[in-house]
Structure 1
Amino acid sequence: MIPRIAFTPGEPAGIGPELAIKLASIGSPAQVIAVCDPQLLEKTAAQLRQKLRLLPFDPSEPPAVTPAGSLYIQPVPMAEPAVAGQLNKSNATYVLETLSSAAQGCLSRRFDALVTGPVHKGVINDAGIPFSGHTEFFADLAGVERVVMMLAAEDLRVALVTTHLPLKDVSAAITGPHLEQTITILHRSLRDQFRIDVPRIAVCGLNPHAGEGGHLGREEIEIIGPTLDKLRALGIQLTGPLPADTLFTPPQLARCDAVLAMYHDQGLPVLKFKGFGHAVNITLGLPFIRTSVDHGTALNIAGQGIADSGSLQAALSQAIQLVRLRNL
């Protein structure tokens, strides 16, 4: 089969449009449909002196591969022309419209998966629109109570219990029900999406040394440990809670299929050190496949033609793989 993959370039003033042109230059075995303003892509291609052919997307036609130098297009008009490196609040609604249009297309089965470029959360909030990130946006749009953010690079997968929270709020957010839902989604996704028959999950503690027997915090004793025991009794293979500073070592990682970190900056620095530039962000628990780049909008280099498209290519490859695994 030829998967139909929707692609949103994200913030129009960032490197997303440039990444789209670089992605187009190599072609794809999937039908890649850019959900964005076609004039933005044409302008970017001209600035980069790259040839670009935008092919109209017709969902009634059989899917076709994407030829090198081309992208299929589902148009969404911008409010104002974008200037590379210069955020514009007027285009905040446009960014969200591209995300909504692409996600709705996945929900209606027009698209088989969604790959997202980087957005700028700050400018969307500055426009008066509450927005904490792609992950939460898609969960709300799909009517899903809980989703899980997982990043993958090579043989390392790191999922998160909490995502974009101030550090002072993390402990209160780690409750038994929240942790149980997160582990259940992670286990089910590893089994059903990644086709790992018996997933092995290593779980970080929250505190240094996983609480040091209660001397450095009691979350491991009162919340994390009992929740893991409950889920082990249901047959889920869990190790932990383990000190994060020793969990991320080769001997420990060799014994698991994924690591569950308690908060954003506990797990992702290790993941990005290992695979920055070709890591993939995957949202687990949605009713559709969604992957993303592992980096931000890089406004400081936007429009210069030097953005690295490695993470976007990896995100597209991961989306194609997950579509094919789903259809086995």
Structure 2
Amino acid sequence: MLDTIALLDEKLIPAWQQPVSVLDLLAARQLNLETALLGSSLFLSDAPFTGHKINPIQFQQLLQSAQKLWRDQDFYFQLGHRLLANGIGPLKDALYHVHSLSQWTDLIGEFALLLSPTIYCRDYTINAHERFLLFSSNIGLPLNSLQHRTLLVLISQLIKRSEKNWRVEFYLSENTPSDVDQFYVHVAGKCYFSSPFNGVRIRQKNNNDEGHHMDISTQVAINQCRDTLGEKRYLLPYVAELLWSNHQLTLNDTAEHIDTSPATLKRKLASCRVSFQALSDQMKAERAVIELLLKGTSLEQISNNLCFHDSSNFRRAFKRWTGMTPSSLKSAYRGIFEPS
């Protein structure tokens, strides 16, 4: 198991997909590509970069350099459109042709690295016809709000152009930005700012999620995505998923699950700028807030789901995590969230 877990300096991001789209966007404006590539471990002499891969820190450096060269505020919105054209490889074909909402969000979760190399998408079922994708950092750094914009454009346009007729709502933790008009132009869905988390809610108007079988070409596209990524996954989202699925896991349990020692796991998480306890608390807090706001789940039930002995202990932990009591959080966001 341990040999399938990668650290931040390991190169898993296919350079011929998202990084090339960044360069193509700059080239359309005749901007200096060599300047953009500084610190990315890529060189123009290697183009078209087939077979080359970079790590998340190098990709983040590429984005930062590209944004400085672009200068205009719409860079990340324009990049979202460019990625939709040719930047996510066979994943676009798979997402276009999958009609089941559950299958669609499952693919987003599995191939998040192809969709956004620095953002991890966690898939959460609200009910039979609603899903929620929660955005988290893939690299242990605070999420860059500008990177959300690329992902928002990409997801919203994927749904719009494939004519799935789903209702999409985006939630961002950043305050309403000065360039909010760019969201109305480029994002095909309602955007809510000052949210307690970052993610997208997708509602299927008719509950026709059952009975859809993938055709052979879609299965081919999915296999191509798996071949592109290989078997390795980054440590932080991998451990986060374990803790999200089982809130009782201790450091020792988790280390045993991935076939390593607790000390080694602690050291590797530290390299991702997070402690095991902080990550465990984050997963519990995210699930508690989502269940409270999106599902309207009772405090007693959430407390049980998160394996607390009683709701009083849960309330104290909730305030420690969020700075607010559950009731005050519900009141604060009553105008944004509509529990199903």
TM-score between the two structures when normalised by the length of structure 2: 0.25
The structure showing larger relative contact order (alpha-carbon pairs under 8 Å, at least 6 residues apart) is 1
Q: Which has the higher helix share?
A: 2
Q: Which has the higher strand share?
A: 1
TM-score between the two structures when normalised by the length of structure 1: 0.26
